[in-house]
A and B are shown apart, each in its own frame.
Chain A
Amino acid sequence: MSDPRIEVIERRLEKVENIIAVSSGKGGVGKSVVASTLSLELSSRGYSVGLFDLDFTSPSTHVILGIQDVFPDEEYGIIPPLVKGLRYMSIIFYALDRPAPLRGSEISDAIIEVLAITRWEELDYLIIDMPPGMGDATLDVIRLIPRIKFLMVSTPSKVAYETVRKQLTLLRGLDFPVIGVIENMVMHSLRLRSQVEEDGAEYLGSINYDPVLEEALGDIERLKKTAMYAELTKIVHHI
């Protein structure tokens, strides 16, 4: 017995130049906002960009970018719709606004299914918004997308960075490239640079906590005018 989905996943992604997983050990560190704004900024710079929300139980990039009333085309598979300049894929196209209570093996099966049927066109970058932690989604992208690179996000908190550090150790042990770590939602002082460098990763920069970001969520033009977005643009050239 063989799973016919695995064989075609690499082919579905063959026209994508760079695949970046935006990841963190903890939830709530701003990973989805970083993935969304990074996608927008790369697109603004003239690159063709896809954004794939791989957080199947708690997707949020559609809320951040104000995406609604779109659906993939069906043509020898699934073609992610072009939304706000980005090719966009999320489980919300199928779960809609309902809860998706999935166990680990079900998440894994759903990820394999979506990867196997989604036909990404030529892209300079595919940004994948990962669910938090080192669970099924992380292990699946490591297994199924061998050329993926990781961009880690942490807050200055020891609690958040401790989980990121473990993920860095895992990825290094598996020889997976890590682009670096972004210190996000900084409120008082920077804490991570020396720790990140001690852990053998590149410290890409910091983004201050932006109290008005919440008001801009769902509106791309407002999002692009936030201080958070301006700080992210300074980090993008490292990526």
Chain B
Amino acid sequence: MHEWALAEGIVSTAVRVAEDEGLLKITEIVIDIGELQQVEHEILMFALEQLKTPTMKDARFVLKPIQGRFRCRVCGEEWAFIPETVDKEASEAIHFVPEMAHVYIKCSQCGSPDFDVTEGRGVWLESVKGLKRDE
């Protein structure tokens, strides 16, 4: 149910972006979902629907999964995150705090925990589309 906390952040940020851009009605909200965090899409979508404000009542939420990718800072190895390769304990820790990847995952080549998460870390608001007064 931690997805509810994420959904709250998405809705609040979308409202702020809409205000900044002078949108009176939000029609579409695109959200990048980094697979490293292993967010439950269905729960997140349900939470978004429950939390949406009147300005976004007809808006479409688009969840875009982004594969988690790593690059080792020591040997340069690049590899993709495969959820099935981490155990339940690690998976849960990374779900709540994606940086816990450095605790539980090592470079597949040299074994270092010193790597960049180059893509697919967590939840990110990609775009908010809508209608302005004169549209």
Contact = CB atoms under 8 A, between A and B. Distances in A.
B13 A7 contact: yes
A1 B126 contact: yes
Contact of A116 (B9, B17, B31, B100): B9
B102 A106 contact: yes
Interface in A1-33: 1-8, 11
B61 interface: no
B124 A109 contact: no
B97 interface: yes
A8 B5 contact: yes
A216 to B, nearest CB: 30
A87 interface: no
Interface string B84-122: 000001001100111110111000000001100000011
Interface residues of B, number: 34
Interface string A94-107: 11101111110011
A113 B1 contact: no
Contact of A94 (B1, B9, B93): B93
Nearest to A72: B96
B55 interface: no
B5 A78 contact: yes
Given A2-B16, A4-B13, A98-B103, 18 more contacts: A1-B126, A3-B125, A4-B12, A4-B124, A11-B12, A76-B8, A77-B4, A78-B5, A94-B100, A95-B100, A99-B113, A100-B99, A101-B114, A106-B99, A107-B99, A109-B121, A110-B97, A113-B122
23 contacts: A1-B126, A1-B127, A2-B17, A3-B13, A3-B124, A4-B125, A7-B13, A7-B16, A8-B8, A8-B9, A8-B12, A77-B1, A77-B5, A78-B96, A91-B97, A94-B97, A98-B104, A100-B100, A101-B113, A109-B98, A117-B2, A117-B6, A117-B96
